[in-house]
Amino acid sequence: MSRLVVISNRVADPRKAAAGGLAVALGESLQQTGGLWFGWSGTIVEDGPTGEGELHKQQAGKVTLATLDLSREDHDSYYLGYSNKVLWPVFHGRLDLANFESNYIGGYRRVNQLFARKLLPLLKDDDILWVHDYHLIPLAAELRAMGCRQRIGFFLHIPLPPQITIAAIPQHEWLMRSLFAYDLVGLQAEQDVEHFRRYVINEAQGQALDGDHFRAWGQTLRASAFPIGIDVDEFNALAAAKESRDMFETMRREYSQRRLLLGIDRLDYSKGIPQRVQAFRELLANYPENRRSATLIQIASPTREDVDAYGDIRRELESLCGAINGDYGELDWMPVRYIHRVVARKRVPGLCRAAAVGLVTPLRDGMNLVAKEYIAAQDPDDPGVLVLSRFAGAAEQLKEALLVNPYDTHGTAETLQQALQMPLAERRVRHQRLLERVREQDVHWWRRSFLEALREAPAER
């Protein structure tokens, strides 16, 4: 079997449980093939030269971890700049938050070239390469320019927006053309594939062929949806462990007379957290029976704080939660508990299980794994209800959730009330169907189907 080489912005040691589902899932294939995982080391060299970085190698069982330092200038233009101030907002439909400063693209190209140059000598002829996410879109094109002929697949973890939104990126043609250096492009949802198809036909004047194959710029590739899942067994093992059971008991005790609604997210503007809190406010206003009896716990972990838009969303959320607690709170009841921190992964299943309603209401999301974790964590005999944004990739699979438009505050509030009122029999039926889907299309299924498709993809080189 060919050796698997994974390339992503960050590298995790797959043997460490804290690394989470993706690292564990990729780790399994990497272990089987004695693979290589390549990426940024996390180290920034303050006055380092641009386009250069020291390579570190470390053995993690059978897996080699190869990581590269980045200079401050490269990091800021490639990661903070082009990746997180251009690609992230545009791909999530937030053109208003994009900053098309011209020096970002230089850093993005330079770091992709640096990755290619340092990776190439580590490759064997029959390796199979799997590149992850928006930081590294042009990596295959850079590798090909240096003579790399191995099979290379790409998976985009975030949504691919409609053609006219992509076209707002000054370098969109270069970016989309560079995707055609891959043999397989994996997207989260069918809707993303549809956006890809429209771009190829209308913007690139290419063709859609049979079986998700596309031809443009003289190259053919396959682009299909491979919805990412969670590691259900790993999650269940966490749920059964002491930390999680303790968490569940504590929450049940603390909120014995109250219903919990729960949101767990990175504090990202794509996650729709202020809109969710507004909907909760409207629930309290329109259905006063929920006052004193419902509590929203919103856990939002700090993320990308070097980017201005993230400071803005934090302030907005703080003031909103403060206002609701001021307006509706009682001496013995706070409507919203907002916690700006990470919850230990070991406790997440217990917390999810204690919540009567799971709120996953992003304005836009590639997939959203919290939705799947919430389902996996429920007691099948008395499950909670998932309220899910129709704009999360997960909505294509999780049709039995209560789907909402997070921009519609009134509609979302009505759905929250419906969730809180849902009879046990209906909750059970919906949960059972959702759980089947989460189990069938778990992270191992995702990895296997992507790698199988990559091995079979048309490789013309």
Which parts of this chain interact with ligand ADQ (CB under 6 A)? 157-158, 228, 264-266, 299-301, 342-343, 348, 365-370, 373
Q: Which residues pair with 40 in a beta bridge?
A: 10, 68
Q: Contact at 8 Å (CB) between 50 and 23? A: no
Q: Which residues contact 95 (CB under 8 A, 6 or more apart)?
A: 89, 165, 168
Active-site residue list: 157, 365
Of 226 and 328, CB closest to ligand ADQ:
226
Least separation, in Å, of the C-beta of 211 and ligand ADQ?
Answer: 24
Of the candidates 205, 132, 212, the one whose C-alpha atom is nearest the C-alpha of residue 458 is 212
Of the candidates 76, 75, 85, 51, the one whose C-alpha atom is nearest the C-alpha of residue 169 is 85
Of the candidates 192, 131, 226, 130, the one whose C-alpha atom is nearest the C-alpha of residue 444 is 226
3-state secondary structure of 56: strand
C-alpha of 39 from chain center: 18
Start-to-end C-alpha separation, the chain: 20
Q: Contact at 8 Å (CB) between 128 and 72? A: no
Q: Contact at 8 Å (CB) between 51 and 117? A: no
Q: Which residues contact 456 (CB under 8 A, 6 or more apart)?
A: none
Of 219 and 368, CB closest to ligand ADQ:
368
Q: Quick one: CA dihedral 120, 122, 126, 132, positive or negative? A: negative
3-state secondary structure of 58: strand
Q: Contact at 8 Å (CB) between 387 and 404? A: yes
Ramachandran assignment for 153, one of left (phi > 0), alpha (psi -120 to 50 degrees), beta (any other)? beta
Q: Tokens 């089947």 label which residue?
A: 436
Of 342 and 402, CB closest to ligand ADQ:
342
Of 190 and 327, CB closest to ligand ADQ:
190
Least separation, in Å, of the C-beta of 205 and ligand ADQ?
Answer: 30
Of 301 and 418, CB closest to ligand ADQ:
301
Least separation, in Å, of the C-beta of 103 and ligand ADQ?
Answer: 26
**Interatomic CA distance for residues 198 and 26, integer angstroms:** 31
Of 279 and 360, CB closest to ligand ADQ:
360
Least separation, in Å, of the C-beta of 272 and ligand ADQ?
Answer: 12
Q: Tokens 């949960």 label which residue?
A: 431
Q: In the 8-state DSSP scheme, what is residue 368?
A: -
Least separation, in Å, of the C-beta of 388 and ligand ADQ?
Answer: 12
Ramachandran assignment for 20, one of left (phi > 0), alpha (psi -120 to 50 degrees), beta (any other)? left
Of 201 and 342, CB closest to ligand ADQ:
342
3-state secondary structure of 431: helix
Of 111 and 388, CB closest to ligand ADQ:
388
Least separation, in Å, of the C-beta of 160 and ligand ADQ?
Answer: 12
Least separation, in Å, of the C-beta of 397 and ligand ADQ?
Answer: 12
Least separation, in Å, of the C-beta of 266 and ligand ADQ?
Answer: 5
Please report the DSSP string for 4-51 in residue order.
EEEEEEE---TT-GGG-HHHHHHHHHHHHHT-EEEEEEEEEETTPPTT
Q: Which residues pair with 12 in a beta bridge?
A: none
Least separation, in Å, of the C-beta of 302 and ligand ADQ?
Answer: 9
Q: Contact at 8 Å (CB) between 325 and 281? A: no
Of 302 and 380, CB closest to ligand ADQ:
302
